[in-house]
Chains A and B, each alone.
Chain A
Amino acid sequence: MIPVSVITGFLGSGKTTLLARLMRDPAMGRTAVIINEFGEIALDHDLIETSEESFVQLSNGCLCCNVRSDLTATLADLAARREQGTVPPFERVVIETSGLADPAPILHALMTDRDLCGSYALDAVIATADAVVGIDALDHHEESRRQAAVADRIVITKSDLAEARTEALKNRLAVMNPGARITEGAYGTMSPALLFGCGFYDVTGKHPDVGVWLNHESLHAPYGHEHAHAPHTHTPSITSFCIVREQPLHAVTLPLLLSALAENCGTDLLRVKGIVHVRESPNRPAVIHGVQHVYHAPAWLPCWPSEDKRTRMVFIGRNLRESWVRALIELLDEEVGAVGASHV
């Protein structure tokens, strides 16, 4: 399996600069790059140093709008050529989206497309945010909010500039997407190790670091009581909250919960990820990961990654209601428990 990372971010937020710097790192030597440029004159690809064979430029429209045709065909072709030995044996793919792209359709394709699932696995979504104008972009552009909301990693760029509002932007992003790790990367300086290999599905076969994936610090809460972090609504219309639950859930509750979220929240639910204590599997927690209505099948860890055995879930979406999600979980789990009890 080849890990695929998606670099997204609003127009001018430093995606290409970040990618160009990353590609100079020897650790990125076997990386294929796909750049989606929107416009008649494509320039970004000139700024990236990589082998021509494993570099693809998509400039015939916005990737998120043409994902079914362009991206899937490109990735499938790359995999085939790698197999045939006509391109270098790349070990990673990085996709740079256009500044106006909605990453969700791209993630859906990577998660569900039959032609891609056998060869590729989604690693991480990395969003760049401009320390100077990033807050304005979040205020005024839905695309910018969606890009930040689905990210696993957010790199704040241009933080070295005098007019940078780095701390304010960091705080804004932290409440908007508590599941993302936020770092500064002036001039695109950033170690690849900080950005890649943070997806849940570790293609090397090692156990993933779930704490890192969930950005555990944001979920840290005292033991001994159930609670949810207060929903964060500082950014217009985007809401995020974390639900921490002491009581294990019945196994059947999990698919019912995912169905109800998909059917009732639709595209307003941007991302869900979490580790779940399942009553029937006390020593092997389940991990859930979804983008809008598309979820990976829950995966079972071999053991708990830490002493903390509570269910912890992060929800990010537009106009989401934390109280509704909490009530839904409670009611569904009670329903499943009662049905099970009636069959004993």
Chain B
Amino acid sequence: MSLVEHAPLAAADERLRAFLEQSLALWQVTGTVQLAAAPVVAEIRAGSGASVWVERAGDDTPFRWFVRWRREGDAPGGVREVRPRACSSLVGLLAAVRDGLGVERGSALRVAPAPEPVLS
């Protein structure tokens, strides 16, 4: 089933929440991932106090999700809470959630040239 089109949206959102929960564990962030009022499909509350909200984007946009967040210590209504980041892919979504949680995890992919002679 496709997360995007073929699966019922509720099931796809449930899979997304499960994946985000695993991502928190991977990033060694304590917290919870829950369903919240539409259009939020995942509300992440970290032990640090940061909150991240993932919204499913409408069909009339080229994006898949919008992500808003409030970091630990931020006052409600901050810029990232009112101006969401648009994500068109899962990779982008993970990056936005990491930003929202203040997780400095990895490095940008670096692709090295294949040595010559490359396989013929």
Q: Which residues of A contact B (CB under 8 A)?
A: 1, 111-112, 117, 120-122, 201-203, 205, 207-208, 255-256, 258-267, 269, 287, 292-297, 299-302, 319-321, 323-324, 327-328, 331-332, 334-335, 337-339, 341-342
A335 contacts B119, C-beta separation under 8 Å: no
Residues of B within 8 A of A328 (CB): 19, 90
- Residue of B2, B106, B113 near A293 (CB, 8 A) is B106
In the bound assembly, the distance between CA atoms of A337 and B18 in angstroms comes to 21
Q: Which residues of B contact A (CB under 8 A)?
A: 1-6, 15-16, 18-19, 22-23, 25-28, 64, 89-91, 94-95, 98, 105-120
Residues of A within 8 A of B3 (CB): 331, 334-335, 338
- Residue of B4, B28, B110 near A339 (CB, 8 A) is B4
Q: A264-B94, A319-B28 are in contact. List 14 more A-B contacts (CB 8 A).
A: A117-B113, A201-B118, A203-B115, A256-B89, A256-B90, A259-B91, A263-B105, A292-B107, A294-B111, A297-B114, A299-B118, A301-B119, A324-B22, A324-B25
- A259 CB to nearest chain B CB (Å): 5
A335 contacts B25, C-beta separation under 8 Å: no
A297 contacts B108, C-beta separation under 8 Å: no
- Which 3 A-B residue pairings sit nearest by Cβ, starting from the closest? A266-B106, A338-B4, A121-B115
B90 contacts A335, C-beta separation under 8 Å: yes
Residues of A within 8 A of B1 (CB): 334
Given A266-B105, A338-B4, do A112 and B26 touch, yes or no (CB 8 Å)? no
A207 contacts B119, C-beta separation under 8 Å: yes
A327 contacts B19, C-beta separation under 8 Å: yes
In the bound assembly, the distance between CA atoms of A52 and B98 in angstroms comes to 52
- Residue of B18, B25, B110 near A294 (CB, 8 A) is B110
Given A297-B113, A338-B3, do A262 and B107 touch, yes or no (CB 8 Å)? yes
A294 contacts B112, C-beta separation under 8 Å: yes
B91 contacts A256, C-beta separation under 8 Å: yes
A266 contacts B117, C-beta separation under 8 Å: no
